[in-house]
Structure 1
Amino acid sequence: MPGFANRPLVFLDVDGPLIPFKARPVGRMRSLGGAVTQPLDGTGNPLLDRLDPDDGRRLLALGCQLVWATTWMAEANEVVSPRLGLPDLPVVEWPDGDENPEHGLHWKTAFLTQWAAGRPFVWLDDETTDADPRWVAAHHPARALLHRVDPYAGLTEADFEAIRQWLPQGEGAA
């Protein structure tokens, strides 16, 4: 995407931030014999109904370069992007190595820092700990916001506000 080369990256995890572990109140639910279930959408994954299409609009409004940083990998473009109204996004290809991260560090942290290649970034995930931002601050020359999303709620307006507050004036969309 032209013009995104100098904008912050936003690394997106799927399970937890975009597909919360608990059904959202706005989810389209149906009742079968008294039990409330999620409808199947043809993929066989009933959890996809927990995606909030408004998340796509709100992510695009940040004016940053969105990147899938999920174990869904390329499948995120095939299954998740269309449901959120997102274009195909770059995908972080995880290394095959079985290297163990430093004690307390998330397994994605060092690799995402390398992938960012000195660019500012936001990382939306539900598994980061206090060790991750400390490590990134010591190993990454640009600003970074590692924002932990409540995996039971998924992304909320408060999460988007935290990102907008972090973005310097002029780096994201107005």
Structure 2
Amino acid sequence: MTGSAQRPLLFLDVDGPLIPFGAAPDRYPIFATGAHAPGDDANPLLSRIDPAHGPRLLALPCDVVWATTWEEEANECIAPRIGLPRLAVVIWPEPSDTDEQDERYGLHWKTRALVDLAAGRPFAWVDDEVTDTDRVWVAAHHPGPALLHRVDPRVGLTDSDYAALDSWFRRQVGIPGR
């Protein structure tokens, strides 16, 4: 496959994968960006974001899309902090009766929207709230390959997460592993 239109998608959540939370506050390193980054005053948790995430995400053979309630704020506050360009952003639909029913059965409120947005393209979804219910639903409703990758929110994205993502994306685009 060639061309960005055919590359797989990486739907990326922020809270959990990039901003770890849930452990003792003194457990998290503080990362400086060298310059005052947008949003620093409003959200001190931004200092938990490791700037190494940017180059690692850009090295993956995929198109990264913000799939977070941060929406466009991810481009304003997070992308510059870690050296990412402006990325596409999922604009979440308004909640519906279907969403409420899905949640009663354990389906995450993001799942349907991400499958719709992928429109058959291979995609990985990185989030700290992915469950087996989401995996089963995606397998039944998405015609292309999909990887629903759960990240431990207490530690965020790790070397092993990046290795798993890189390997999966490389298989999708026919690039031999490293």
Separation in 2 of the partners of 1:41 and 1:90? 19
Give the structure 1 partner of residue 88 of structure 2: 90
Give the structure 2 partner of residue 36 of structure 1: none
Please show how residues 1-174 of structure 1 align to structure 2 within 5 Å.
Answer: 3-21=3-21, 22=23, 25-28=28-31, 42-98=40-96, 99-102=99-102, 103-169=105-171, 171=173
What is the SS of the residue equivalent to 1:122? Answer: strand
**8 A contact 2:19–2:46 mirrored in 1:** yes
1:25 Cα deviation (Å)? 4.8
Q: Which amino acid aligns with 1:74?
A: E
Structure 2 unaligned regions, length at least 5:
33-37
TM-score (norm 2): 0.84
**8 A contact 1:62–1:172 mirrored in 2:** no
1:28 Cα deviation (Å)? 3.9
Q: Which amino acid aligns with 2:57?
A: L
What is the SS of the residue equivalent to 1:58? Answer: helix
Separation in 2 of the partners of 1:97 and 1:25? 34
**8 A contact 1:106–1:128 mirrored in 2:** yes
Q: Which amino acid aligns with 1:14?
A: V
Q: Which amino acid aligns with 2:73?
A: E
1:116 Cα deviation (Å)? 0.4
1:100 Cα deviation (Å)? 1.4
TM-score (norm 1): 0.86
**8 A contact 2:53–2:82 mirrored in 1:** yes
How many residues are aligned here?
163
Structure 1 unaligned regions, length at least 5:
30-39
Separation in 1 of the partners of 2:41 and 2:66? 20
**8 A contact 1:68–1:76 mirrored in 2:** yes
* CA distances 1:139-171 after superposition (whole Å, capped 9, x unpaired): 000000000000000000000011122124472
Separation in 1 of the partners of 2:121 and 2:88? 15
Question: RMSD of aligned C-alpha atoms?
Answer: 2.2
Give the structure 2 partner of residue 33 of structure 1: none
User: Whose helix proportion is higher, 1 or 2?
Assistant: 2
**8 A contact 1:20–1:154 mirrored in 2:** yes
Q: Greater shift after overlay, 41-50 or 101-110?
A: 41-50
